[in-house]
Amino acid sequence: MKKKKLTIQIVTAFPGLIKEYTTDSMFKRAVSAGLLEFKFIDLRKFGEGVHKKIDERPFGGGPGMVLQFDPIWQALKSVKTKAKTKNEKVILFSLRGRKLTGKIAEDFSKLKKITLVCGRYEGVDERVAENLVDEEISIGDYVLSGGELPALVLSEAVARFLPGFLGKQESLESIRGSYPAYSRPEKIINYKKGKVLKVPEVLLSGDHKKIAEWRLKNSSL
């Protein structure tokens, strides 16, 4: 059987900020196992003039700079990526986008290619959202300096749904939600005088049915 591989392309003016995270640990393993591939597209390369300018002042005034349409368009063209392509999605990170959830991540994990456009500065020329992407995604109601951390968050949330990315135990967690975990020692006695930090009895009982029930009851879903 041919192995299914997901390609994640990240369009960013700051590839150096996040590249390293994609080349270590779980991602490193997934990439060498052929489940996943990362490509970085440096927006700067598509900037104008000697200074490779990619931002301009906003029409109508106001603070900050706006990422321009053209560099993003050229960047997408350079890798022959277009919105509304079967088995692919082009996503722009935006505070006005759909809030990322596990369900969305699972749906994205079934695609062949995901292209993530990272905003910066005061935001991105709205014509990018209107014409070049399939949808806008937000990772939560708080403002970050750019789409680079959202790109890592989305990549990891999606990758965890790729068959073979996780070990069996961890995949149980991703389906059931997160439950509280305890490990050795059974009793922590040297933390505060007169206080012993214990482990819930049921987890030591060896009764797998009861343990499963307890975890479900205490899980995040």
> At its nearest, how many Å lie between ligand SAH and the CB of residue 132?
13
DSSP string, the chain: -PPP-EEEEEEES-HHHHGGGGGSHHHHHHHHTTSEEEEEEEGGGG-BTTTTB-EEPPTT--SS-EE-HHHHHHHHHHTT--SS-TTEEEEEEEEEEEEP-HHHHHHHTTSSEEEEEPPBTT-B-HHHHHHT-SEEEESSSS--SBSHHHHHHHHHHHHTTSTTSS-HHHHHHHHH-------S-S-EEEEETTEEE---GGGGS--HHHHHHHHHHTS--
Beta carbon of residue 98, minimum distance to ligand SAH (angstroms, whole number): 10
Nearest residue to ligand SAH by CB is: 119
For ligand SAH, the closer of residues 140 and 180 by Cβ is 140
Q: Report the nearest approach of ligand SAH to the CB of residue 116 (Å).
A: 10
Question: Shortest distance, CB of residue 157 to ligand SAH, whole angstroms?
Answer: 13
In the complex, the residues that contact ligand SAH under the rule CB under 6 A are: 93-95, 118-120, 122-124, 138-140, 142-144, 146-147, 150
Q: Which is nearer to ligand SAH, 35 or 128 (CB)?
A: 128
Identity of the residue, 30 or 66, whose beta carbon is nearer to ligand SAH in the bound complex: 66
Rounded distance between C-alpha atoms, residue 104 and residue 112, angstroms? 15
Identify which of residues 30 and 137 has a Cβ nearer to ligand SAH in the complex. Answer: 137
Output 135 or 173, the one with its CB closest to ligand SAH: 135
Q: Cβ 153 to ligand SAH, closest distance in Å?
A: 9
